[in-house]
Amino acid sequence: MLRTLLTRRLYMPLASFLQGESMFACLAELERTQSWSSEELRARQFADLRDTLRAAGRVPYYRDRGYPADVGTWEDFLALPVLEKSEVRDHFQSLRNPGGGESLGHTSGSTGEPVRFTHGPAFRSRHEAGQWRSRGWFGVRPGEGVLAVWGRPVGPAREWNLLRLKSFLNHLLHVSAFDLSPAFIRALYPQIRRLRPRLVYGYPSGLEVLVRQAESDGVRLDDLGVRLVACTAEVLYGFQRDLLGTAFGAPVADVYGCGEFGAFAHQCPHGRMHVACENVVVEFLDESDRPVPAGTPGQVVVTSLHNPGMPLIRYRVGDMAVPVEGVCPCGRNLPLMDVRTGKTGQMVRTAGGRMFSTELFDYVNKSLLTAGHRQIRAFHVVQTALEDFTVRYVTEAEEPGPALAACEKGLREVLGAQVRIVFEEVEEIPRHPGGKLGYFTCQMPPQA
Ligand SMILES: [Zn+2]
């Protein structure tokens, strides 16, 4: 209780203050707007969209391509070109707003293709508020204990230590999804019990490993007082939903987002996924970039409404999802979508039963970007045996050696020094049907 209060009353407001935009004020606003009518929400979204386009009018990349500094109707907006990941990758600097305030630099290597972008204070506060609003639907409030099974930075220990400190101040136990050995999980049980988390959050694949281990150790998790298990970053399979719900004795909700926009769609207690339409405009487009009808899978294209320092306008995320019509029984008019065709979660298994979320590869990619190793354009890891990995990579550099060495070091840090890693240069990395570059393919025989 004291920890909850310290985090809610002291640390979170202080962090908001330092960030320059109050997360709690944004949360109060989002809790008001969620009861608005669809028309009110749509009008508000359009007003914010116009502000975004005004900010984009100062961005060299958009200016040079003749984007209008304002739009009069939704149709005008929908006539703007779709922004590709490759454009953001190749024109990072010219996509930044020279007068856009102090957006902090932020990098991500989401989906195998490294992309850099920045998030400003307004974006961060609103995104965080969007997360807490949806958790509030399940009775979880800011500052309450959170158990997160998530990736951790690879590379210099400093970053991981800093993140752990921040997690501690946020009343959050950050469990690395890259270290889920039976011994590691057993050492967590007393910490989890002390934390008594109200929210369990993370990759479904990682949570599944944790829950199965607890089950085989005869450790109960359903008496901790968990109110919500929120899964994100990967497809949440039905069997995982059942497994996690039973293990924690709590409802399981799916959360959808990506590095560029954070989490922006959340399932409510009725199992419908609502878009935080006060923060983003989400479109679902067919092959010719025309909107698909409700109930039909389309490519997810997103515009961020509160990131004037680097506005991404009609950005193709690389996932498929389905726009859903109708009104949710929960009464909120936030638009509905379904992501059953989204990302596939997978675990990497190595000798001794060690398991890692494939998000590991994303973290390795991020560490390469952070260290300035931009020579690898994309990579894909193929596992052929428990300890054998082939890294297929695309490069345009004459000397990718240092980047490859850094990549190998990052992989070994998590997979272990004993694994065999072979690098193989390729022309291109085949995409998944949804258009995404996957990071990982397992080619091991099932019984290996
Ligand atoms: Zn609902």
Quote the ligand 1 centre to 142 CA distance (angstroms).
21
Residue 101 and residue 147 in one domain: yes
Q: Does residue 7 form part of some domain?
A: yes
Q: How far apart are CA 134 and CA 429, in angstroms?
A: 36
Residue 317 sits in the same domain as residue 387: no
Q: Are residues 334 and 425 in the same domain?
A: no
Residue 23 has pLDDT above 70, yes or no: yes
Predicted confidence band at 340 (pLDDT cuts at 50, 70, 90)?
low
What pLDDT, on the 0 to 100 scale, is given for residue 446? 62
Question: How many of the other CB atoms lie within 10 Å of CB of 398?
Answer: 7
d(CA 351, CA 419): 9
Distance 350 CA to ligand 1 centre (A): 40
pLDDT-above-70 percentage for the chain:
93
Q: Tell me which amino acid residue 164 is.
A: R
CA 317 to CA 45: how far, in whole Å? 20
What is the Cα–Cα distance from 131 to 144, expressed in whole angstroms? Answer: 13
Ligand 1 centre from 315 Cα, in Å? 26
**Nearest Cα to 175, choosing from 207, 154, 149?**
149
Cα(200)–Cα(246) distance, integer angstroms = 13
Is residue 273 within 8 A of residue 256, CB to CB? The reply is yes
Nearest alpha-carbon partner for 99 in 309, 364, 251: 309
Calculate how far, in angstroms, residue 439's C-alpha sits from the geometric centre of ligand 1: 33
**What CATH code is carried by the domain that includes residue 404?**
3.30.300.30
| pLDDT reading at 342 higher than 50 | no
Q: Is the pLDDT of residue 262 over 80?
A: yes
Higher pLDDT, 353 or 14: 14
Cα–Cα distance for residue pair 200/225, rounded to 1 Å: 11
Q: Which long-range contacts (CB under 8 A, 24 or more apart) does 194-197 make?
A: 195/145, 195/147, 195/171, 196/145, 196/224, 196/225, 197/144, 197/145, 197/146, 197/147, 197/173, 197/224, 197/225, 197/226
Ligand 1: distance of its center to the CA of 28 in Å? Answer: 19
Mean of pLDDT values over 59-88: 93
Question: What's the average model confidence in pLDDT over 244-265?
Answer: 94
User: Do 314 and 369 fall within a single domain?
Assistant: no
237 and 373 in a single domain? The answer is no
Same domain, 290 and 376: no
Range of the domain at 362: 347-442
Q: Report which residue type is found at 274.
A: H
State how far the Cα of 186 lies from the Cα of 192, in Å rounded to an integer: 10
Q: How far is CA 44 from CA 26, 281, 282, 440, in A?
A: 15, 11, 15, 41
Rounded CA-CA distance 377/372 in Å is: 12
How many domains, in total, are found in the chain?
Answer: 2
List CB contacts of 233: < 8 A, sequence separation 6 or more.
Answer: 202, 203, 343, 345, 359
Token pair 């407001």: residue: 13
Across 436-448, average pLDDT: 70
C-alpha 130 to ligand 1 mean position (Å): 14
8 A C-beta contact, residue 112 and residue 378:
yes
pLDDT band at 264 (very low <50, low <70, confident <90, very high): very high
User: Do 308 and 365 share a domain, yes or no?
Assistant: no
Ligand 1 centroid – CA 272 distance (Å): 5
Does residue 320 lie within any of the structural domains?
yes
Final residue of a structural domain among 299, 315, 338:
338
Answer yes or no: do 313 and 395 share one domain.
no
Q: Identify whether residues 148 and 214 lie together within a single domain.
A: yes
* Contact in structure between 41 and 282 (CB atoms under 8 Å): no
- Residue 447 covered by a domain: no
| Centre of ligand 1 from the C-alpha of residue 327, in Å | 8
The rounded Å distance from CA 273 to ligand 1 centre is 7
Structure tokens belonging to residue 57: 């009018």
Kindly state whether residues 357 and 431 are assigned to the same domain: yes
CA of 187 to the centre of ligand 1 (A): 38
Q: Strand runs (DSSP E) across 85-137, as ranges? A: 104-108, 115-119
Using an 8 Å Cβ cutoff, are 203 and 149 in contact? yes
Say how many Å lie between the CA of residue 221 and the centre of ligand 1: 27
From 9-13, 146-150, 257-261, 344-348, the region with the lowest mean pLDDT: 344-348
Range name among 135-149, 284-298, 353-367 with the lowest pLDDT average: 353-367
| pLDDT tens column, 300-325 | 999 999 999 999 999 998 888 899 99
Considering only 344-348, 369-373, 390-394, 434-438, which range has the smallest mean pLDDT?
A: 434-438
Same domain assignment for residues 264 and 375: no
Which of 159, 165, 168, 170 has the alpha carbon at shortest distance from 23?
170
Q: How confident is the model at residue 344 (pLDDT cuts 50, 70, 90)?
A: very low
- For residue 448, being part of any structural domain is answered with no
- Domain final position from 338, 367, 385: 338
pLDDT of residue 433: 47
CA of 375 to the centre of ligand 1 (A): 45
Q: How many C-beta atoms surround the C-beta of residue 190 within 10 A?
A: 9
User: Same domain, yes or no, for 166 and 305?
Assistant: yes
User: At 357, which amino acid appears?
Assistant: S
Residue 409, H or E segment: helix 401-415
As a whole number, the mean pLDDT across the chain is 88
CA of 146 to the centre of ligand 1 (A): 23
Residue with tokens 């994303």: 362
* Main-chain dihedrals φ then ψ at residue 114, nearest 5 degrees: -65, 130
* 200 within some domain: yes
Segment 394-399 mean pLDDT: 84
CATH code for position 103: 3.40.50.12780
Of the candidates 338, 356, 384, which is a domain's last residue?
338
**pLDDT tens column, 24-52:** 999 999 999 999 999 999 999 999 999 99
Position 146 scores a pLDDT of 97
Summarised one tens digit per residue, pLDDT across range 158-203 is 888 999 999 999 999 999 988 888 999 999 999 999 999 999 999 9
Q: What is the per-residue pLDDT for 432?
A: 57
Q: What average pLDDT score do residues 128-156 get?
A: 94
